[in-house]
Amino acid sequence: MNSDSPARLTDRAVIAVTGEEARDFLQRVVTCPIADISDGEMRAGALLTPQGKIIADFLIHGRPDGVLIELPAAAADALAKRLSMYKLRARAEVRVSEDLAVIAGEGTPDPRSAALPPRAIRPAAEAASLTEGDAIQAEAEIAAGVPAFGRDYGDADVFPTDVNLDLYGGIGWKKGCFVGQEVVSRMKRRGTIRKRTVRLDFEGEAPAAGTDITLGDTALGTITSSAGRHALAILRLDRLEEAREVESGGLTAKVVLPEGV
């Protein structure tokens, strides 16, 4: 997949949130700022549990009549149902759209990393002839150090800072209330953000997901995904100390911290 060959991401779905109060109710619920998103702009965000853990994260595309939320297809129905619950009496409609598809390789830059291909949402009929790009997109994300829901973590497994959502602009620290804000904001204020998703670079093929990661005799965690010579893992940075190399599967890997840490 490259800029000359857009591909369809079949493992992504689209939720359309439309209506005159669509952005207003989302502004009060999800982690990222919504009220000022412009037509064609894309932002990372998530819906959290009241305890501050990710139910699902997503990319939000601004539209004149609301927003389009693209997310892992496996999480789409559950998220749409939960957003409908939070909508209450707001004049807005939430629905999973069967006639839209996510395209990688054209469109708006991905806010999570400049190394990732741009993406767009197009009518499904227009995308039907494109090749499937799920595997290549996953490889690109792992190489860029970008974790993914369903691949590196699941429902209510992690705080948004564990998977670097704040570093992508996915948490509006100054936007006001959102579900789970109290817990996440307290972590930031008290300086208790210790875990981060990091990239591990191996000289050869990276070990498979689930392989233990150690620093000397200290267990640090496990690999959450790998592709080629790269792997991702959620690690306690304070346990790394000054070390920037770890071991996994009998191999040595360089630890690459996310930009902004």
What's the pLDDT tens digit per position in 54-104? 999 999 999 999 999 999 999 999 999 999 999 999 999 999 999 999 999
Range of the domain at 215: 194-261
Asked if residue 111 belongs to a domain, the reply is yes
Do 116 and 240 reside in the same domain of the chain? no
What's the pLDDT tens digit per position in 203-228? 999 999 999 999 989 899 999 999 99
Do 46 and 99 reside in the same domain of the chain? yes
Distance of CA 211 to the CA centre of its chain: 22
Do 141 and 30 reside in the same domain of the chain? yes
Do 212 and 101 reside in the same domain of the chain? no
CA dihedral of residues 181, 146, 233, 75 (deg, nearest 10): 60
Asked if residue 129 belongs to a domain, the reply is yes
Q: What is the distance between the alpha carbons of residues 99 and 122, in angstroms, rounded to a whole number?
A: 9
Token duo for residue 99: 């006639």
Do 110 and 233 reside in the same domain of the chain? no
Do 200 and 159 reside in the same domain of the chain? no
Number of domains present in the structure of the chain = 2
Asked if residue 178 belongs to a domain, the reply is no
Inform me whether the pLDDT recorded for 239 exceeds 90: no
Do 110 and 209 reside in the same domain of the chain? no
Inform me whether the pLDDT recorded for 1 exceeds 60: no
Do 58 and 131 reside in the same domain of the chain? yes
Domain final residue pick, 163, 185, 220: 163
Pick the more confident residue, 102 or 260. Answer: 102
Provide CB contacts within 8 A for 39, sequence distance 6+. 62, 63, 64
Q: What is the distance between the alpha carbons of residues 98 and 146, in angstroms, rounded to a whole number?
A: 27
Do 208 and 158 reside in the same domain of the chain? no
Domain final residue pick, 115, 147, 163: 163
The whole-number pLDDT of residue 238 equals 85
Domain final residue pick, 111, 143, 163: 163
- Residues facing residue 226 across a β-bridge: 231
Terminal CA-CA length for the chain:
29
Do 104 and 209 reside in the same domain of the chain? no
Do 82 and 158 reside in the same domain of the chain? yes
Radius of gyration of the chain measured on its C-alpha atoms: 19
The whole-number pLDDT of residue 91 equals 96
User: What is the average per-residue pLDDT within 96-119?
Assistant: 97
Domain of 198: which CATH number?
A: 2.40.30.110
Inform me whether the pLDDT recorded for 196 exceeds 90: yes
Mean of all residue pLDDT scores within the chain? 94
> Does pTM surpass 0.75?
yes
User: What is the average per-residue pLDDT within 111-124?
Assistant: 97
What's the pLDDT tens digit per position in 121-163? 999 999 999 999 999 999 999 999 999 999 999 999 999 999 9
Inform me whether the pLDDT recorded for 3 exceeds 60: no
Q: What is the distance between the alpha carbons of residues 66 and 190, in angstroms, rounded to a whole number?
A: 35
pLDDT level of residue 4 (50, 70, 90 thresholds):
low
Do 227 and 134 reside in the same domain of the chain? no
The whole-number pLDDT of residue 260 equals 85
